């Protein structure tokens, strides 16, 4: 039996190299390893917390599907679908709502961040981890490849699985751990757990510090030129080591695209020459992105094909999700 691998991404805007190295690439690499049954879904119901415009939602969802197909997600090997096509996700989230407490959800980082910004927080944002737990647990997922920012959410999914199994699993069984829901593990690669943005903070659409994944040469140039280049003597890099005077932020982005020995040589030879280093990074990103950009342009000409892929994926996912939901409904006693 192959292990089950599942991940989700919100269609909330332009995919960036943080998404790519942090999560998207792992998905394709693991798909190609042949060791997993892979599921990837477009988390449109999660995105609805932010994208509340019909046309935009449709456009961003299709674009995200294109992004994944362009980087090599193969619908013959992986099940690609839209979250909203599988009603079991929201139905299971409701069932979980009845066993999850308010103080527990108040401890979620994403909720605390939203609260700190003093926003009027909608219930969907508050409930976000519960829907995410349903996404993961419906498919008996073993592994969830994500970036560091999602780690807590996977822990929530594990906690919710345990609580459900404990509450509704057969009482005469000592080991209730994997009875109804399997406990998933996150898969976070240390080297790309937090990909920095052009200002050194985590790359994020909301910080306006992204390098778009499918950027044109001009867009790459613009983004790279905006990378902050403080020399950072004594500064701590994302690898936790003290910098030796390198423009640490530029270096940390550059190391995603160049082997370490070549990179170190380049930075040694170009000490203080930020323009040359940036020109080199522009070349590297452009060379890296170009084939994917071209593949995406081709795919974008046939949106009907993409919609068909999503429909087929939904059919496959629905079979599995509905079966699990049936088991859950029996366990709670509504069936
Ligand atoms: P989302 O759409 O915000 O991000 C998609 C993936 O990209 C990763 N990521 C990063 N990794 C490293 N460095 C960065 N700067 C960076 N920025 C983003 C994220 O960690 C994520 O893996 N809640 C999820 C979507 C989701 C989901 C799920 C994921 C819904 N249900 C079930 C897994 C399983 C999210 O908002 O991802």
Q: Give the pLDDT of the chain (335 residues) as one tens digit per residue.
A: 899 999 999 999 999 999 999 999 999 999 999 999 999 999 999 999 999 999 999 999 999 999 999 999 999 999 999 999 999 999 999 999 999 999 999 999 999 998 898 778 999 999 999 999 999 999 999 999 998 999 999 999 999 999 999 899 876 555 555 589 999 999 999 888 899 999 999 999 889 999 999 999 999 999 999 998 875 545 555 555 555 667 888 999 999 999 999 999 999 999 889 999 999 999 999 999 999 999 999 999 999 999 999 999 999 999 999 999 999 999 999 99
118 alpha-carbon distance from chain centroid? 25
Q: Quickly count: other Cβ atoms within 10 Å of residue 29's Cβ.
A: 12
Which residue's CA is the nearest one to ligand 1's atom 18?
A: 19
User: Percentages helix, strand, coil for the chain, rounded to the nearest 5?
Assistant: 55, 10, 35
Q: What is the pLDDT of residues 76-96, one digit of tens each?
A: 999 999 999 999 999 999 999
249 alpha-carbon distance from chain centroid? 22
Q: The tokens 């459900």 sit on which residue?
A: 164
Q: What is the pLDDT of residue 266?
A: 95
Tell me the pTM: 0.92
Superfamily of domain 3-193+303-332: HUPs (3.40.50.620)
Q: What is the pLDDT of residue 173?
A: 59
Q: What is the pLDDT of residue 234?
A: 52
Q: What is the 3-class SS of 267-310, one letter each residue?
A: HHHCCCCHHHHHHHHHHHHHHHHHHHHHHHHHHHCCHHHHHHHH
Provide CATH 3.40.50.620 ranges for the chain. Answer: 3-193+303-332
Handedness of CA 221, 235, 22, 91 (dihedral sign): negative
Q: What is the pLDDT of residue 177?
A: 54
Q: What is the pLDDT of residue 288?
A: 96
- Out of 19, 144, 156, give the residue to mutate to test ligand 1, the one with the largest number of ligand atoms within 8 Å of its CB: 19
Q: Which two tokens stand for residue 219?
A: 């867009």
Which residue's CA is the nearest one to ligand 1's atom 12?
A: 22
Q: How far apart are alpha carbons 156 and 141 in whole angstroms? A: 14
Q: How far apart are alpha carbons 42 and 124 in whole angstroms? A: 17
The CATH number of domain 205-297, selected from 1.10.3720.10, 3.90.550.10, 1.10.240.10, 3.30.70.1350: 1.10.240.10
Q: What is the pLDDT of residue 232?
A: 52
* For the CA of 19, the nearest atom of ligand 1: 7
Q: What is the pLDDT of residue 126?
A: 96
Task: State the distance from the centre of ligand 1 to the C-alpha of 328, rounded, in angstroms.
Answer: 27
Does residue 147's CB lie within 6 angstroms of at least one atom of ligand 1? Answer: yes
Return the closest-CA partner of residue 47 out of 12, 90, 86.
12
Provide CATH 1.10.240.10 ranges for the chain. Answer: 205-297
| Phi, psi for residue 247 in degrees, rounded to 5 | -70, 90
Residue ranges of alpha helices (H) inside 118-231 are: 123-126, 128-137, 151-168, 217-225
Q: Which two tokens stand for residue 116?
A: 């700190």
Q: How far apart are alpha carbons 158 and 242 in whole angstroms? A: 36
Mutual angle of helices 54-71 and 303-332, in 10-degree steps? 100
């Amino acid at each position: 039996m192959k292990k089950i691998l599942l991940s989700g991404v919100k269609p909330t805007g332009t995919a960036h190299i943080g998404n790519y190295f942090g999560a998207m690439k792992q998905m394709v690499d693991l798909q190609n390893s042949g060791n997993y049954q892979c599921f990837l879904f477009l988390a449109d119901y999660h995105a609805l917390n932010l994208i509340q415009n019909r046309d935009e939602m449709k456009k961003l969802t299709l674009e995200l599907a294109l992004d994944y197909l362009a980087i090599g997600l193969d619908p013959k090997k992986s099940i690609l679908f839209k979250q909203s096509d599988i009603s079991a996700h929201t139905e299971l989230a409701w069932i979980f709502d009845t066993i999850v407490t308010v103080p527990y959800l108040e401890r979620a980082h994403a909720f605390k961040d939203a609260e700190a910004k003093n926003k009027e927080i909608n219930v969907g944002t508050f409930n976000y981890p519960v829907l995410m737990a349903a996404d993961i647990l419906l498919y008996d997922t073993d592994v969830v490849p994500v970036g560091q920012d999602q780690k807590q959410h996977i822990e929530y999914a594990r906690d919710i699985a345990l609580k459900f199994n404990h509450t509704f699993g057969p009482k005469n069984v000592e080991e209730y751990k994997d009875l109804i829901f399997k406990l998933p593990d996150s898969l976070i690669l240390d080297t790309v757990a937090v990909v920095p943005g052009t200002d050194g903070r985590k790359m994020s659409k909301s910080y306006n510090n992204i390098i778009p994944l499918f950027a044109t040469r001009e867009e790459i140039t613009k983004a790279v030129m905006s990378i902050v280049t403080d020399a950072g003597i004594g500064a701590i890099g994302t690898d936790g080591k003290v910098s030796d005077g390198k423009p640490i932020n530029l270096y940390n982005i550059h190391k995603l695209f160049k082997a370490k020995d070549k990179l170190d040589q380049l930075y040694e030879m170009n000490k203080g020459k930020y323009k040359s280093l940036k020109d080199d990074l522009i070349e590297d990103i452009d060379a890296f992105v170009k084939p994917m950009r071209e593949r995406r342009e081709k795919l974008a000409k046939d949106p009907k094909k993409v919609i068909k892929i999503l429909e087929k994926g939904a059919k496959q996912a629905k079979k599995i999700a509905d079966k699990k939901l049936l088991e859950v409904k029996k366990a709670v006693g509504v069936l």
